[in-house]
Amino acid sequence: MPAKIVVVGSFNMDLTAYMERMPRPGETVGGHTFKTGPGGKGSNQAVAAARLGADVTFIGRVGQDVFAQAALDFWHQEGINTDFVGRDPDHATGVAPIWVDDKGENSIVVVLGANLRITPADIDRAAAVIAAADVVIVQLEINYDIVEYAMKVAREKGVKTILNPAPAGKLPPEVVALADYLTPNETELEVLSGKTGDYEAAARSLLTREGQTVVVTLGSQGAMWLNAGGKATVPTFKVNVVDTTGAGDAFNGGFAVALGEGKSLEDAVRFGNATAGLSVTKRGTAPSMPTRAEVDALLSSQ
């Protein structure tokens, strides 16, 4: 049985410019490549999970524009259920202009548009699908009250929740407490916990109830998990890094699928690391998400 994953989140059309180096304020630099492609943290995570063989439903909102149609076409091509994607008459589909330099570093501006118009009624309409899910994932590119509401509905139905607190934002402790798994990177951990320096202390401060786990993604250092029962750092895989954009989304998609399939925490983190590791070997966000065969091959080779 494939894992059933529900993603409540964002779609943004990525408008990516590649250049030798980033411009300084007031400076114009020449770029050598430009691409448009489907992005947004929620959509990327949904695509990652779908390519890994999961049964994926996306709950979100797009506009009435050309980018919205591109999103729907792309999700259908990836086999993602879009029955609960709303079309907003008054707000444009989200966009994300991205700059990537030749070292693979990136800077991103996100204009969220319709993503911020998801309503509790949108979640309620999908209640039966949420109840049947193995894992529900949310991120912070949607309105925070919906992050809370979606996790509440999932918890009431006994479904595991992953809160990927990205992009970095401050959430009330009662919202953080709704997540079974928190998956910040170093920056997001700092903002969420209000603590700097000691990752372990910061992560531990987020554990407010029984059964919670924090998984801190550490880029080339792998990922550290921590809960009441213990902690460990799971190393990453040696790969040729081309573009790190979307690596966090790849990790979350992979981690969710592994949990949904009943893998142990350690194995789920390793599976997430493999998914993220493969994603940085290609350019782009959603287009760089690996297939199940690629992830399984990497896991068995190292």
- For residue 296, being part of any structural domain is answered with yes
* pLDDT above 80 for 284: no
Number of C-beta neighbours around residue 198 at 10 A:
11
- For residue 27, being part of any structural domain is answered with no
Place of tokens 């994926």: 56
**Predicted pLDDT at 255:** 98
What CATH number is attached to the domain comprising 252?
3.40.1190.20
Task: Enumerate the active-site residues.
Answer: 249
Q: Which residue has the higher pLDDT, 244 or 126?
A: 126
- For residue 207, being part of any structural domain is answered with yes
pTM of the model: 0.92
**Predicted pLDDT at 111:** 95
Number of C-beta neighbours around residue 69 at 10 A:
14
- For residue 159, being part of any structural domain is answered with yes
Q: Give residue 287's pLDDT band: very low, low, confident or very high (50, 70, 90).
A: confident
Number of C-beta neighbours around residue 124 at 10 A:
11
Tally the domains of the chain: 1
Distance in angstroms (rounded) separating the CA atoms of residues 178 and 9:
17
pLDDT exceeding 70 applies to what percent of the chain?
100
Mean pLDDT of 187-216: 94
Distance in angstroms (rounded) separating the CA atoms of residues 25 and 83:
43
Domain range enclosing 286 = 4-22+34-301
- For residue 29, being part of any structural domain is answered with no
* pLDDT above 90 for 53: yes
- For residue 137, being part of any structural domain is answered with yes
